Structure 1
Amino acid sequence: MKRPLYIAGSGAVTPAGLSAPQTLAAIRAGLSAFEEMVLNEPLGATQIVARIRAHSRLRRTDGQWLVNMAARAIGEALRSGTRASEATAILLTPPESFRDHPAYGDIAPADFLMAVISATGQKFHAASRATDGGAAASIGLLERALDMMEQQGVEQVLLGGVDSLVNDTDFARLRQAGRLKGADNAQGLVPGEAAAFVRLTRSPERKAHVHAAIHGVGLAQEKDSVLSERYSQGGALLGALRDAVNGSGPSEPDIDFVVSNGNGERYSGWEQLIARPRFYRTRREILPTAYPAMTIGDIGAASGALVLMLAADSFLKDYAPGKTAVCELASENGLRAAAVMVCMTRR
């Protein structure tokens, strides 16, 4: 990146909390939002999920539910600062198009961003965009966020995503692929749902002593995705990590801990097991790693911003195991991303 980006605020609605502070506190405490859900298909079967408890009127359709989640998280992130919404751009990652998410039966993908903006009741900068690609795509948009603030008159960017794997369509495809966690599959994912956004600025705000700054970003495409018939050899994740530290910022020996959207699947575990020893060559007693999915399940496209949010919060609240973090993100379609974040202090 040409210059650092700062995480100045956040907003979230997840199974662990209806705000960013609630969600982060639950993850920090190691709580679990998992529960058993009775399915319609096959009738009477149960599935472990992480579901947001909400009034039925908010879930009248799948599309309306995602829009309501996104609007709530965006509103919270916007209120964390004082800049006007008209000077604020939204970079949104909705559910990936290949999944045929039931929300798109209610709202066409091309109309999704405008539906979210309309639900907020605010006017946002015309540069706002929605991007397909899942969790890793959010990290890939960090460079664009910086360009928008430097060249298009945007004062701040709300970057994030919204998704729900708690629906019959995703249940069916994940079950067919043997990817769901259950009594017969300990190494499966727990479907979750969430919306999460971080507020990005070009410089630190106010007179706070501690700031979370993003210094480097890497992006790569894995040919052997979880949707293929082969296990990943970690090439794309390794490439993303190397690109993230290929600059004037922190390098591999400086990294103190990792925040990952790993979801407990066998595929995810093996990929990390192969890629990390090839990247982390400096001797460490341990490499502390945070997995938010242990609390809120796999939240798909929303996990990109959530991982950034958790890393930043650990710096601001002084519970991070060091001053430099790497955020690792993987999307189902094979996109891999990494971002280096640093705890910065000023007098």
Structure 2
Amino acid sequence: MATQRVDILAVGMTTPVGLSAQATAAAVRAGITRTRESTVHLSAWDGQRLGLVDERHLHPLAPALEKTATGLSDRHRRMLRLSTLAFRELLATWKPSAPPPLMLALPEPPPQGMMDPVGPGFLAHLGQQTGVGFDAGKSRVFRQGRAGGLLALEAALALLASRQVDCAYVGGVDTYLDLGLLGRLDVEERLLSEGRAEGLIPGEGAAFLLLTTPKHTQSLGLEPLAHLLGTGTGREKGHLYSDSPHLGEGLTDSLHTLFATVPRELPKVETVYAGMTGERIWGREWGIAYLRNRDRLQEKYRIEHPAEYLGDPGAALGTLMVGLAALALHKGYRKGPCLVWCGSDREERGAALVHSY
């Protein structure tokens, strides 16, 4: 649980629909889709549909990493390249005088016995690749996939509340362009295809936020994009890889925790950014959580599910949706408060509340 309001000062993104946060937000607002058939052939159909950033738009791997990259998986390398422009974009607003800590969401570890494509040195490699300085000693990695970005937000809010730092970076990056991963999801019948009524479209992306305290924002003479009012997390025992019944308790608990941190007199939620990726479980889970928290939402709330346009960006989803909400509120084309929620393949669930300045 995190209770202190913080400012979202800047957002950076690289996605299949945009090479910057503003471009991505504009494309999602316009309903532009960038998922298409690829040259990846799996059992279900010819040319698996994917949401990918065009190779020519990805920043090359840093020369220092190229020399030692033989031990890095293709997925690890691509995630570093996806992160470059998105992380650097934060510095266009303001460059911190001291390197802030980074709370970073990464993919969930693979099943036991399978090689982990994300190496332990990812944070150090990210610093080399992007040139963005961050406090490695206070930084943390969250290997919880989609919900990881919201767990990372929770950790950042706690760190800011402790007054150890004035600002913090929060990010998430992932790609499904991994033949081992795609093959496993295909066998599990989780991918959308001609022969399946439901399923996710694999995607990729990177999204980063610069957070600071309202007092620090004021001292800098800057205007934030939006406020982050709080976060809530929970665990779903009946997750995708569990034998337990799916009861929707993880997301319900996340919302209960979140709403307990904000005043009852706060206006009801007007817009929901939902972690729906095309798999039926997320619609069921939201339905249960909504019914148990509907007194905190407007009767005719608006729902957004960005994965519809860019595919499932995995561990980037939580941070990406918080960034989209902040930009939408700042531009005035969505009403707040905005509720953001998403769930991981396994038990982690998370939620956040974003409101206008």
Do Structure 1 and Structure 2 share a fold, with TM-score over 0.5?
yes
1:145 and 1:263 map into 2 onto residues whose CA distance is: 26
Question: Deviations along 1:62-108, whole A, 9 cap, x unmatched?
Answer: 22111111232111123332323x43221111111136899944x52
| Correspondences of 1:145-294 after superposition (within 5 Å) | 145-151=156-162, 153-203=164-214, 204=217, 211-229=225-243, 232-249=246-263, 254-281=268-295, 284-294=298-308
Q: Which amino acid aligns with 2:141?
A: A
In structure 2, the CA distance between the partners of 1:43 and 1:231, relative to structure 1 (3 Å rule), is closer
Question: Deviations along 1:287-341, whole A, 9 cap, x unmatched?
Answer: 2111010111111100011010011111100011x22111111111121111112
SS of residue paired to 1:154: coil
1:195 and 1:178 map into 2 onto residues whose CA distance is: 26
Q: Which amino acid aligns with 1:227?
A: Y
- Comparing 287-296 with 115-124, greater Cα deviation is found at 115-124
Report what 2:76 is aligned to: 63
> Are 2:41 and 2:48, in contact at CA under 8 Å, matched by a contact in 1?
no
- Comparing 332-341 with 198-207, greater Cα deviation is found at 198-207
Report what 2:315 is aligned to: 301
Report what 1:35 is aligned to: 36
The answer to whether 1:138 aligns with 2:174 is no
Q: Which amino acid aligns with 2:247?
A: Q
SS of residue paired to 1:258: strand
Report what 2:127 is aligned to: 117
Report what 2:91 is aligned to: 78
> TM-score, with normalisation over the residues of structure 1?
0.89
Question: Deviations along 1:253-274, whole A, 9 cap, x unmatched?
Answer: 6111211121111111122122
Give the superposition deviation at 1:343.
1.3
In structure 2, the CA distance between the partners of 1:75 and 1:282, relative to structure 1 (3 Å rule), is closer
Give the superposition deviation at 1:38.
2.3
Give the superposition deviation at 1:153.
4.3
Report what 1:98 is aligned to: 110
Give the superposition deviation at 1:166.
2.5
> Are 1:87 and 1:153, in contact at CA under 8 Å, matched by a contact in 2?
no
Total equivalences in the alignment: 340
Q: Which amino acid aligns with 1:193?
A: E
Alignment RMSD: 2.7
Identity %: 27
- Comparing 32-41 with 309-318, greater Cα deviation is found at 32-41
Q: Which amino acid aligns with 1:89?
A: P
Give the superposition deviation at 1:123.
3.0
The answer to whether 1:323 aligns with 2:336 is yes
In structure 2, the CA distance between the partners of 1:221 and 1:43, relative to structure 1 (3 Å rule), is closer
> Are 2:235 and 2:348, in contact at CA under 8 Å, matched by a contact in 1?
yes
> Are 2:7 and 2:224, in contact at CA under 8 Å, matched by a contact in 1?
no
SS of residue paired to 2:177: coil
